[in-house]
């Protein structure tokens, strides 16, 4: 069929057809209502395209909803972010809400954000792992998270995002330096010989040494997160992500004995509990860290927490098995390189189990891999 044939099914003909005798630079007259296209006769896919374009043109330069106040938007974002994000940033968002709650979200400038960060630093109470930039990094991260969602919602253009333009203070490297073997033994000795619950504190230190988990992960560890057959734990990260972490048979046995000796599942489903069977909280960690500083001068000078134990374990794994295995051991699978095979050849739980076996000197069921006959020697 020719494009110029007067076939009513020919879309090109509908666009350019004109009546005989009309005069125009192209042989026709100015379009009239009779010459307009009846969209009811167009194919369904084309009609949907036209409607989508009309929607884009209609929304151009306009957000999906009026610019909310800072208080309104914090409430909206707090309801949709993961629990880990909410727990991390809620305190900082309260600071922002107190300062600018009734202002529109796009009103605070870069200079005002910088000034708010300085004010927060001057008021922030020193923490045991504080640096000179105490509170600054967390507040900036919270603001960036808030305004990143505003970008997603079309409320703020990325080029106008004031939170992006505020520099985050560099994090000190001292807090991430690994501990020596002697220092690890001293921390374990303090946990097991001081305090009102030595068995619990010793178990906490051993748990962090083997799993390199974050501080909050053991607080959310429940009985059903223990997989006895494979000697693994299902850990919840601060971000809300889950990861399966191999542990030694000795640690598994201690965890099970701890649960049975303190009421089993009758009192709570949480693994770590005190003498009364009640779940432990952050206060247990604060008490443990205080005793580290009280009994060890170097621990007080370096503001040592269980996080330093995590860095020490990951440093050992990196030196012995490489960075990729160390990232997997610590629950991080981020990859910024250009290796397109990374999703297929990145280290897995079997590599982590082999690293744990080297760390503890105990056999781990998963260390032989899915094919024991082909496993690495």
In this structure, are residues 85 and 145 in contact, taking their beta carbons and an 8 Å threshold?
Answer: yes
195, with CB counted inside 10 A (0-12, 13-18, 19+), is: middle
Q: Say whether 341 sits in a helix, a strand or coil.
A: coil
Quick one: 155 and 233 in the same domain?
Answer: no
Span 356-373, average pLDDT:
83
Q: Classify residue 349: in a domain, yes or no.
A: yes
* Integer Cα distance of 335 and 24 in angstroms: 62
pLDDT the model gives residue 321: 93
Note whether residue 189 is domain-resident. Answer: yes
Domain that holds residue 157: 70-166
Contact 196, 329 (CB under 8 A): no
What is the dihedral sign for C-alpha 36, 40, 41, 43?
positive
In this structure, the answer to whether residues 78 and 124 fall within a common structural domain is: yes
Residues 144 and 285 in one domain: no
Residues 193 and 321 placed together within one structural domain of the fold = yes
Pair (88, 234) in one structural domain: no
In a domain, 8, yes or no: no
pLDDT band with cut points at 50, 70 and 90 for residue 260: very high
Domain count of the fold of the chain = 2
Q: What does the alpha-carbon distance between residue 160 and residue 147 come to, in Å, rounded to a whole number?
A: 10
Last residue of a domain, one of 143, 166, 189: 166
Q: What is the pLDDT of residue 6?
A: 43
130 and 107 housed in the same domain: yes
**Residues 145 and 192 grouped into a single domain:** no
Let me know if residue 91 belongs to a domain.
yes
| Residue at which a domain ends, from 117, 140, 166 | 166
Phi-psi sector, 364: left (phi>0), alpha (psi -120 to 50), beta: beta
In a domain, 234, yes or no: yes
Q: What is the pLDDT of residues 28-64, one digit of tens each?
A: 445 454 455 554 555 666 655 655 555 444 444 444 5
Q: Do the domain assignments include residue 20?
A: no
CA distance 214 to 211: 9
CATH code, 106: 1.10.150
CA distances from 166 to 98, 149, 163, 188, 340 (A): 20, 17, 6, 41, 34
Do 186 and 141 share a structural domain? no
Do 92 and 119 lie in one domain? The reply is: yes
Residues 285 and 365 in one domain: yes
Q: Is residue 34 part of a domain?
A: no
Q: What is the CATH number of the domain that holds 308?
A: 1.10.443.10
Residue range 213-238: mean pLDDT, rounded? 91
Residue 178 confidence (pLDDT) above 80: yes
Question: At which residue do the structure tokens 């010459």 appear?
Answer: 35
Q: In terms of domains, do 260 and 313 share one?
A: yes
List, in order, residues 6 or more apart from 24 with CB less than 8 Å away.
18, 30
DSSP per residue, 69-128: BHHHHHHHHHTTS-HHHHHHHHHHHHHHHHHHTTSBTT---HHHHHHHHHHHHHHSPP-T
**CA atoms of 221 and 219, how far apart (whole Å):** 6
In this predicted model, which residue has the larger pLDDT, 160 or 170? 160
Query: Which of 131, 166, 201 is the C-terminal boundary of a domain?
Result: 166
CA triplet 146, 148, 152: central angle to 5 degrees? 120
**What would the pLDDT profile of 72-129 be if each residue is shown by its tens digit?**
999 999 999 887 788 889 899 999 999 999 999 999 999 999 999 888 877 765 554 4
- One domain for residues 325 and 356: yes
Span 319-331, mean pLDDT?
92
Bigger pLDDT: 336 vs 353: 353
13 in a structural domain = no
Residue 23, pLDDT score:
45
Q: How confident is the model at residue 303 (pLDDT cuts 50, 70, 90)?
A: confident
Place of tokens 């004109």: 18
């Amino acid at each position: 069929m020719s494009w110029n044939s007067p076939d009513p099914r020919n879309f090109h003909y509908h666009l350019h057809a004109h009546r005989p005798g009309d005069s125009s630079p192209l042989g026709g007259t100015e379009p009239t209502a009779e010459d307009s296209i009846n969209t009811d006769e167009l194919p369904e896919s084309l009609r949907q395209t036209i409607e989508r374009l009309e929607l884009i043109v209609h929304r151009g330069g306009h957000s999906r909803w009026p610019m909310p106040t800072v208080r309104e938007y914090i409430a909206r974002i707090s309801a949709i972010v993961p629990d880990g994000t909410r727990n991390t940033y809620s305190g900082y968002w309260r600071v922002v809400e107190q300062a600018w709650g009734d202002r529109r979200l796009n009103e605070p400038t870069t200079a005002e954000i910088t000034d708010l960060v300085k004010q927060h630093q001057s008021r922030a109470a020193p923490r045991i792992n504080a640096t000179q930039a105490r509170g600054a990094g967390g507040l900036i991260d919270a603001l960036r998270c808030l305004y990143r969602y505003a970008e997603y919602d079309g409320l703020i253009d990325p080029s106008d995002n004031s939170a992006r333009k505020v520099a985050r203070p560099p994090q000190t490297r001292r807090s991430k330096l690994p501990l020596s073997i002697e220092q690890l033994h001293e921390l374990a000795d303090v946990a097991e010989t001081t305090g009102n619950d030595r068995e619990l504190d010793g178990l906490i230190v051993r748990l962090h040494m083997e799993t390199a988990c974050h501080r909050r992960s053991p607080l959310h560890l429940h009985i059903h997160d223990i997989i006895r057959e494979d000697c693994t734990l299902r850990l919840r990260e601060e971000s809300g992500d889950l990861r399966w972490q191999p542990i030694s048979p000795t640690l598994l046995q201690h965890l099970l004995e701890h649960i049975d000796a303190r009421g089993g599942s009758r009192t709570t489903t949480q693994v770590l509990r005190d003498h009364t069977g009640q779940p432990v909280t952050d206060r247990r960690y604060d008490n443990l860290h205080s005793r580290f500083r009280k009994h060890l001068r170097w621990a007080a000078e370096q503001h040592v927490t269980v996080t330093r134990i995590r860095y020490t374990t990951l440093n050992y794994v990196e030196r012995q098995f490489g960075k990729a295995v160390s990232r997997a051991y610590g629950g991080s699978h981020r990859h910024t390189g250009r290796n397109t095979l990374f999703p297929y050849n990145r280290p897995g739980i079997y590599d982590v189990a082999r690293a744990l076996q080297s760390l503890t000197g105990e056999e781990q069921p998963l260390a032989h891999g899915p094919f024991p006959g082909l496993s690495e020697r």
